[in-house]
A and B are shown apart, each in its own frame.
Chain A
Amino acid sequence: MFGATVADSTAPAHDHSVAARAVDLRKVYGEGDAAVAALDGVSVNFAAGEFTAVMGPSGSGKSTLMHCLAALDTATSGQVFLGDTEITRLDDKRLTTLRRDKIGFVFQAYNLVPTLTAQENIELPLAIAGRKPDQAWFDTVIDTVDLRSRLSHRPNELSGGQQQRVACARALVSSPDIVFADEPTGNLDSAASGEVLSFLRRSVDEHHQTIVMVTHDPIAAAYTDRVVFLDDGRVVDEIREPTADRVLEQMKMLSSGAVAGTPAEG
């Protein structure tokens, strides 16, 4: 019954502007009576060069979706495509390379290796692959996150906002096809959140980066191009060109259960 309301997100399969795509994705935890469907048939596309927010009540499956899309977890059924590659078929070795070369991550916390400096952390995925960063791009990223003066510091010498910016820089410096961020501003105050979000926004605008971000915060969602709402493991709604007020309104409707049949407006 929800399928109809989100028909437009099950877009054509070979659209080149689609960076990542989930098709009827299901993820079940536990067995028998205790089974919980964290994802219950999610089909969603993420267009290249777009900044998408994923929102929904706690436990609605946002993180699970993110993990499945980012090749960190395997789905129970359904498919995940990254560009044209179906990652649900790949083995651990391939997935590792894929994460290293094609995907960037920012987690809510604990994004950095404590023994490495900020610069070493940023270069980590490249260094693991045995590649040198492209100097011009590295400089661009560093300047965009405004971290040049902090490069030789260890994580424990950086503020939370700085740490998350380092994490963002790390996610971007290898020029991945897509960046996933799971509540990247969850632990930050509003000023630090602003820094991180405007940086993400800029990397989409200026460098056509594709970003998918989970957030709870309507203000954070307002930085994005599109918001996808999840509830109970299903996509229930989406908004384009969101503003904080509209998102907040939508969230209220979702939590009161009134949204169920209401299609998104405009």
Chain B
Amino acid sequence: MLRLTVRNLLARKLRLALSGFAIVLGVAFVAGSFIFTDAMSGAFSGIIKGTTADVEVAPKGANDFDSLQDRRTVPAEIVDKLAGLTEAESVHPYNQQQGVYVIDPNGDLVGGSGPPGLAFNYSDTVAITGEPILSLTEGELPSGTGEIALEESTAERAGYHIGDEVELVTAGRNPTMTATLTGLMRFGSAGGLGGATLVLFDTQAMQELFFNGEDVYSGISLTAAEGVSQEELRDAAQPLLPPGVRARTGDDAAAANEAGIEEILGFINTFLLVFAGVSLVVGTFLIINTFSILVAQRSRELALLRALGASRRQVNRSVLAEALAVGLLGSTIGIAVGYLLALGLKALFAFFGLDLSGASFPITLRTVLVSYAVGLVVTMIAAYLPARRAARIAPVAAMRDDVALPESSLRRRLIVGAVMVVAGVGLMVLGFAGEGESGLALIGAGMLAILIGVALMSPVLGRPLIHGLGAIYRRVFGTVGSLATENSLRNPRRTAATASALMIGLTLVALMSILGQSASASTDKAIRESLTSEYVVSNVVGAPFSPKIAEQIRELPQVETVAQFRTAQAEVDGSFAFVGAVDPNGFAEAFDLPIPGAVTAVFRPGTVLVEASTAEQGGYEVGDTIPLELQGGTVKLELTATYPPGALPANYLVTPDTLIKGGLEPLDSMLFITKAPGAADADLRSAVDKITSQIPTVTLKDPQEFAAEQKEQINLFLYLIYALLGLAVIIAVLGIVNTLALSVIERTREVGLLRAVGLSRRQLRRMVRLESVAIAVLGAVLGVLMGIAFGVALQRAIADQGIDVLSIPWLRLAVFVVLAALVGVLAAVLPARRAARLNVLRAITTE
């Protein structure tokens, strides 16, 4: 039997290659996701380890990966005390600042507005890796506020050379400044900062520019003396520190930061794996279909084997062995392709500001094991049903002319499908009631169950659609049209399974389009209804900028009020809180927050307003005390009112003093401007533009422009998702190619007959093409319908989280169906060519 399996594999190279390709793509996605996140993790871990010394001293909670605007410092006198420690070889106080961006000679922000812009003071600290954190590679160290050094890749991207005047945007007292570039630095040993930019000043310059000239530091790095361990040094240092300042070993500090990174990377990995999963499900359909067709075509041969005495198990195993070989080969190639895909993801994410050019892309044992497991399990599951069917072929079938495979009745399929749909709906309902990740997982599982259920029922559900399409075909293409229609109807399971693969991809594409469009519409509505200020000044991605901007704008005669909106990330009772802070008085002018009574009546220092759905989830009520955990400590606030979801880009609203109490630097992320009575819009615009032009990323816009900018972000995210779903669609298209190619082979004699009685090559190609289009359109229409159903359900379910407007992009959905039809045309190219090339004589004379 083994020899037979091998023979079969060789004889059906092309057909198996196509189904193997589905495995390759699915496994590649899985492997690629892991390789990519491993690469990211390695890169960030390298950055973290390369910047951490033996012991790190800093205010508790400060200078961690997620503390963005912490402004707490340690006083300079600690430095001298620590320097006295015999355990310490050297003591390096440092200052660091976020939001310092380099402007390139064209006036653009280096690295775009996504990745962080950092400023450090230079020091010769050695990291726990044994390498200096920074090393001068060219030029001289900067000195004074008029000189800087740049990290190599930053300078290279900007195109600056030593001696150039470099323009900077800062979040400090001066929104912009220029300085002379005196030197280039290498960061760590690997170099590169994952896309971030780095500017280096000397220590006094840092203090002068960003710490009000006070002799304070963000933290102090200690390197251990010969023979002293990290722990010994930490224990020696800690007693010398004032309350609230803590010493940590380098390993601990690095681990804490890495844990923060891993959380985000884990999220990205899960995100990617979801799409890998979608591709695999689609691939499963393709494999089931391929094996079903192969088994059907071999049924005579299998029956002969049975007649010659092969047992059911042997027949079953010979099919499964074939699947195993395909799975193994597909997984192996898949891992290799996954490596390339990871490089592709690198390029895709680079577009979003993540630079991994220096990172290595490791293929770990875990990646290999997971890839093989996934590839083999999926192939075996997919081949199991056809294998079982093959084993059920009766030996007597060998003697018959037309072998019909035993197939489960459509009715049973319909029932199983319906049960799955009902179960899926149940899971989704549970998921909506549930919370967080488990809720999402339930919703996902429910959707999958419904999709598979519909796929099972699709031979029946799709029939009216094909008939409808057939009527059009017949009218437009005559006999060729009806031949194509009959072909797609003759094996409804095959047509439906092929279409289902496309259906799944398109369901998700349509779903995401609907959610994206609804999010856009909801944004529009929220801005229209609650934003009463005439203008907004903001940065596209909400990166903070210097409060100097607000001060300067406030002085303009055309301006009546300026409300400064700040943001922070905090925790409340262990869950993430997105905090907005604004001055109550300016806020009342700029925003019409839909709460009963005047905002100023409830909103004042010491209080917090909470978004209604957040309050409901946390079980908070008006009058409760909310502990807002910020980096610098927990601030207790009284909950005085709740506001509807989506009204503000934050789920907690506090006054600015709360953030300062929490240790955060006062940086603005949005300004809401109302016009002075009688001021001309054009005047106001040009006056404000003059101020904001100092910072390329910050612009003035009216509410419509503001909304458009927000929607652009939504669309950008949508395109990322389209790109990731694209792979699933490609697999589905391969499925169509595969099915058509196999059908053409199966119908060799019929094709020969048609050619013999006068069907031209062109007509024959058209016939195959029309069948392909029918399959594609069936999949697309089912997918779009499912997408609409899911989209409506999901929008309703998350309506209380800000997406409260349902908006269905009909035109876009129609375009998807038309595109699917075009894809059908493309998918038919090779099978049609193959059919047209068929030697008529060989076709009709082959037995």
Contacts and interface: CB of A to CB of B under 8 A. Distances in A.
Q: Is the interface of B mostly helix, strand, loop or mixed?
A: helix
Contacts of A73: 841
Contacts of A107: 753, 756, 844
B760 interface: yes
25 contacts: A63-B845, A67-B841, A72-B756, A72-B844, A92-B761, A93-B760, A96-B755, A96-B760, A99-B758, A100-B758, A100-B759, A101-B758, A107-B844, A110-B750, A110-B844, A113-B750, A115-B486, A115-B487, A116-B483, A124-B754, A125-B758, A127-B478, A127-B479, A128-B758, A128-B760
Given A99-B758, A110-B749, A170-B757, 4 more contacts: A105-B757, A110-B750, A124-B757, A128-B763
Given A156-B402, A170-B757, A114 B479 contact: no
A128 B479 contact: yes
Contact of A96 (B482, B483, B489, B761): B761
A5 interface: no
A115 B483 contact: yes
B792 interface: no
B3 interface: no
Nearest to A111: B753
B361 to A, nearest CB: 51
A124 B756 contact: no
Nearest to A63: B845
Interface in A113-127: 113-116, 120, 124-125, 127
B490 interface: yes
Contacts of A111: 753
Interface residues of A, number: 29
Contacts of A120: 482
A92 B759 CA distance: 11
A125 B759 CA distance: 8
A105 to B, nearest CB: 6
A72 B842 CA distance: 10
Contacts of A113: 483, 750, 753-754
User: Which has the most chain B C-beta neighbours within 10 Å: A99, A101, A111?
Assistant: A99
Interface string B755-798: 11111110100000000000000000000000000000000000
A88 to B, nearest CB: 15
Contacts of A156: 402
A255 interface: no
A37 B483 CA distance: 38
Contact of B479 (A93, A97, A110, A124): A124
B840 interface: yes
A121 to B, nearest CB: 9
A203 to B, nearest CB: 18
A130 B490 CA distance: 24
A125 B840 CA distance: 16
Which 5 pairs, one residue from A and one from B, show the smallest C-beta to C-beta distance? A100-B758, A115-B486, A127-B479, A96-B760, A125-B757
A93 to B, nearest CB: 7
A28 to B, nearest CB: 15
A155 to B, nearest CB: 10
B775 to A, nearest CB: 16
Contacts of A125: 757-758
B758 A129 contact: yes
Nearest to B480: A128
Contacts of B840: 72
Contacts of B486: 115-116
Interface in A214-243: none
Interface residues of B, number: 26
B64 to A, nearest CB: 69
Contacts of B754: 113, 124, 128
Nearest to A102: B758
B750 A114 contact: yes
A110 B402 CA distance: 11
Interface in B464-484: 478-480, 482-483
Contacts of B487: 115
A238 B482 CA distance: 45
A5 B486 CA distance: 53
Interface string A63-107: 100010000110000000000000000001100110111000101
Contact of B490 (A110, A114, A128): A114
A106 to B, nearest CB: 11
A186 to B, nearest CB: 13
Contacts of A72: 756, 840-841, 844
Nearest to B762: A93
A96 B756 CA distance: 8
A142 to B, nearest CB: 18
Contacts of B478: 127, 130
A92 B840 CA distance: 11
Contacts of A127: 478-479
Contacts of B845: 63
Contacts of A92: 761
Nearest to B846: A110
A124 B482 CA distance: 11
A110 B753 contact: yes
Contacts of A114: 490, 750
Given A73-B841, A115-B490, A97 B758 contact: yes
A56 to B, nearest CB: 17
Contacts of B479: 124, 127-128, 130
User: Which has the most chain B C-beta neighbours within 10 Å: A110, A125, A127?
Assistant: A110
Contacts of A130: 478-479
A110 B757 CA distance: 13
Contacts of A63: 845
A122 to B, nearest CB: 11
Nearest to B402: A156
B757 A128 contact: yes
A27 to B, nearest CB: 11
A96 B759 contact: yes
A114 B490 CA distance: 9
Given A124-B479, A127-B479, A100 B757 contact: yes
Interface string B499-542: 00000000000000000000000000000000000000000000
A46 to B, nearest CB: 19
Nearest to B755: A96
A99 B402 contact: no
A82 B763 CA distance: 25
A153 to B, nearest CB: 15
B841 A96 contact: no
User: Which has the most chain A C-beta neighbours within 10 Å: B402, B758, B760?
Assistant: B758
Contacts of B755: 96
B740 to A, nearest CB: 16
A128 B764 CA distance: 10
B754 to A, nearest CB: 7
Nearest to B751: A113
Interface string A128-167: 1110000000000000000000000000100000000000
A227 B470 CA distance: 47
A148 B484 CA distance: 26
A170 B753 CA distance: 12
Interface in B720-756: 749-750, 753-756
A48 B489 CA distance: 43
B842 to A, nearest CB: 10
A120 B845 CA distance: 23
Nearest to A117: B486
Nearest to B487: A115
Contacts of A128: 479-480, 754, 757-760, 763
Nearest to B478: A130
Contacts of A97: 758, 760
Nearest to B750: A113
A105 B840 CA distance: 13
A43 to B, nearest CB: 22
A214 to B, nearest CB: 13
B404 to A, nearest CB: 10
A141 to B, nearest CB: 15
Nearest to B490: A115
Contacts of B402: 156
